[in-house]
Amino acid sequence: MNVLHIASEVAPFSKTGGLGDVLAALPRALAQQGASRVTVVSARYGSIHPQQHGLAKRLKKLSVSVGAQTFEVGLYEGRLPGPGPLVTVYLIEHPLFSERPGVYGPPDNPGEGYADNPLRFALLSQAAICLAKELVPRPDVIHAHDWQAGLAVYYAQQAEWDTPPATVFTVHNLMFQGLFPLSDAQGLGVRPELLTPDGIEFYGQASFIKAGLQLADRLTTVSPRYAQEICTPEFGYGLDGVMQARRGRLTGILNGVDYDRWSPWLDGALPVRFSRPPAELEALSEDAFAAELVGKARCKAELQRELSLPVRPKTPLLVSISRLTEQKGIDLLIQWLEAELHSRSEFQFALLGQGQPALEQRLRMLAERHPTRVAIRLTFDEALAHRMEAGGDFFVMPSRFEPCGLNQIYSMRYGTIPIVRSVGGLFDTVVDFDARSRSGTGFTFQPFETAALGNAIRRALAAYHSDEPSMLALQKRAMRADFGWATSARAYLNVYRQAQSGK
């Protein structure tokens, strides 16, 4: 199986969110699970310095037609770093990418988006298809990701092939759809008959994501639950009808986690490493397992010190690491904190995140009012994120919606018990604690309400204070949960086979 991925981000070359991480890991996992060749095509943004990444410039240029325009684009060639089989990365070189400081928009306001983004990502998509036609051997499957690569599915179907490749399209977050004026799409070579509601039109605009959703042989999204949810009006962002119609072709596959970076016994960002691989934890007695967590207690004390909170080993420490947006339910968490901090219940809360100014302001005020109980860091700090995963007792993630979510998975490996709203990938990865049956890996709640969140947190704090053996057993179950990429890569290989046989 020869697979070519097309995406607007691939770490470590470019990353603004989870998409970049997936493109760094999934292709390697596919190669390890038996794909004969895996290639990634993305863009050489201004922030990518070719020498730093060992990228070589190809002498030959590609001539790429987008609508009536023709672009001469260059190509950088490199490889995804990491062990295992070779994954080749091609980065398309053109001033539309290289002469911009940001990936999607100006760095000080990325949400705004560059005005010519339709052309930029149409060019990326078409250049990737032109390259695919030149590669020997040709790809069997073209796998396009998110709206930026939506038109790649269309261009792949318009291109002439001896044997056309199968196409797979993955939705990482349905909220971001790539909506632009219909006239833009026409200029990009989209046939007029496709600019209808049965095609890629969406309420008077052209929808790039709809191109991927309507035209690909198979669709995937990043968790089984989110696959169900996006077929409903509540989570479908107006595309639930399209998702419903193509439901039989849609598969939810959980994102994996890079445990080389997120394991407490390997983690160089921690003041002290602790624990060991899950298989070795299983056989440990309660005492021996408790001894594995001595390092975690040190991490907690160091974290409290770092955040200028009183160093109290027995006070439960709730942590959160999050973009501060609607999606993440931070407003709900703030509401709960505002009410609860006036009560006598004993806990500390620490948050690392950046985002909407209004949320940042409310969090800042909470920390000012309750300096011994609340610590807020409004920056992006990867190393601190690791120390918080390690030093917290509980990780709170009350998302409105969550396609997959990674932090709840990281936290489990560090014995930091997730408290999550049971939606999307959170539903699929966190099992609610049940003391009687001694099962579960975290605490979950359903209605998006302060009382429901509060109830989940109360149950978590009660478990923390009341029953040490049961809490230890809960931590052990969470730390043994495995969400590596191997299982997910095998599921993608299955989808590729289905896409091929469905043609």
Residue from 79, 133, 323, 490 touching ligand ADP (CB under 6 A): that is 323
Q: Which is nearer to ligand ADP, 24 or 185 (CB)?
A: 24
* Residue number with CB closer to ligand ADP (90 or 410): 410
Binding to ligand ADP (CB under 6 A): which residues in 333-392? 352-354, 380-382, 385
**Minimum separation from the CB atom of position 453 to ligand ADP (A):** 18
Q: Which residues inside 8-47 make contact with ligand ADP, applying CB under 6 A?
A: 17-18
Stretch that binds ligand ADP, among 96-104, 195-203, 399-407, 434-442 (CB under 6 A): 399-407
Q: For residues 139 and 405, which CB has a smaller minimum distance to ligand ADP in the complex? A: 405
Cβ contacts of 85 within 8 Å, gap of 6 or more: 28, 31, 32, 38
Residue span 187-206 as binding mask against ligand ADP, x where in contact by CB under 6 A, dash where not: --------------------
Contact 66, 123 (CB under 8 A): yes
Is residue 407 within 8 Å of residue 395, measured between CB atoms?
yes
- Nearest-angstrom CA–CA distance, 126 and 208: 13
Distance between CA atoms of 123 and 188, rounded to whole angstroms? 9
Contacting ligand ADP (CB under 6 A), which of 170, 407, 450, 488?
Answer: 407
Q: Cα(379)–Cα(114) distance, rounded to whole angstroms?
A: 24
The residue count for binding ligand ADP (CB under 6 A) is: 15
Type of residue at 379: T
Please identify which residue in 321, 366, 426, 463 interacts with ligand ADP, judged by CB under 6 A. Answer: 321
**Based on CB atoms, which residue is closest to ligand ADP, 140 or 389?**
389
Q: How far is the CB of 346 from ligand ADP (least distance, A)?
A: 27
Bridge partners of 4, per DSSP, are: 39, 142
- Footprint (CB under 6 A) of ligand ADP, residues 220-279: none
Interface pick for ligand ADP out of 25, 80, 91, 406 (rule CB under 6 A): 406
Q: Are the CB atoms for 448 and 421 separated by under 8 Å?
A: yes
Residue 473 Cβ vs ligand ADP, minimum distance, rounded to whole Å: 26
Both structure tokens of 81:
């770093």
Peptide bond into 137 cis (omega under 30): yes
Ramachandran region, residue 103 (left: φ > 0; alpha: ψ -120 to 50; beta: rest): alpha
**CA-CA distance, 300 to 315, in Å (whole number)?**
10
275 vs 322 by CB, closer to ligand ADP: 322
Q: What 3-state DSSP class applies to 460?
A: helix
- In terms of CB distance, is 258 or 393 closer to ligand ADP? 258
Cα 63 to Cα 129: distance, rounded to the nearest angstrom: 11
Of the listed pieces 332-340, 405-413, 443-451, 485-493, which binds ligand ADP according to CB under 6 A?
A: 405-413
Question: Would you say 167 or 411 has its CB closer to ligand ADP?
Answer: 411
Of 132 and 363, CB closest to ligand ADP: 363
Q: How far is the CB of 359 from ligand ADP (least distance, A)?
A: 13
Cα–Cα dist 451/457, whole Å: 10
Give dist(CA 312, CA 319) in Å, integer.
15
Q: Which residue is nearest to ligand ADP (CB)?
A: 18
Phi and psi angles of residue 14, each rounded to the nearest 5 degrees, phi first: -150, 145
> Distance from CA of residue 286 to its chain's centroid?
34
Q: What is the rounded distance in angstroms from the CA atom of residue 148 to the CA atom of residue 212? A: 10
Q: How far is the CB of 39 from ligand ADP (least distance, A)?
A: 24
CA 192, CA 177: separation in Å to the nearest integer? 20
Q: How far is it, in rounded angstroms, from Cα 466 to Cα 64?
A: 66
Residue 165 or 353: the one with the smaller Cβ distance to ligand ADP is 353
Helix/strand/coil for 88: strand
Q: Minimum distance from CB of 352 to ligand ADP (Å)?
A: 5
CB within 8 Å of 129: residues ≥ 6 apart: 142, 152, 155, 156, 159
Task: Give the residue with the Cβ less far from ligand ADP, 381 or 449.
Answer: 381
Q: Minimum CB separation from ligand ADP for residue 381, in Å?
A: 5
Q: Does 162 bind ligand ADP (CB under 6 A)?
A: no
Nearer to ligand ADP, 171 or 385 (CB): 385
Minimum CB distance to ligand ADP smaller for 166 or for 366 = 366
Count of residues in the chain: 503
* One character per residue 280-319, x = contact with ligand ADP (rule: CB under 6 A): ----------------------------------------
Question: Closest distance between ligand ADP and the C-beta of residue 113, in Å?
Answer: 18
Single-letter code of the amino acid located at 190: V
Closest separation in Å from C-beta 74 to ligand ADP: 31
Residues engaged in binding ligand ADP (CB under 6 A): 17-18, 321-323, 352-354, 380-382, 385, 405-407
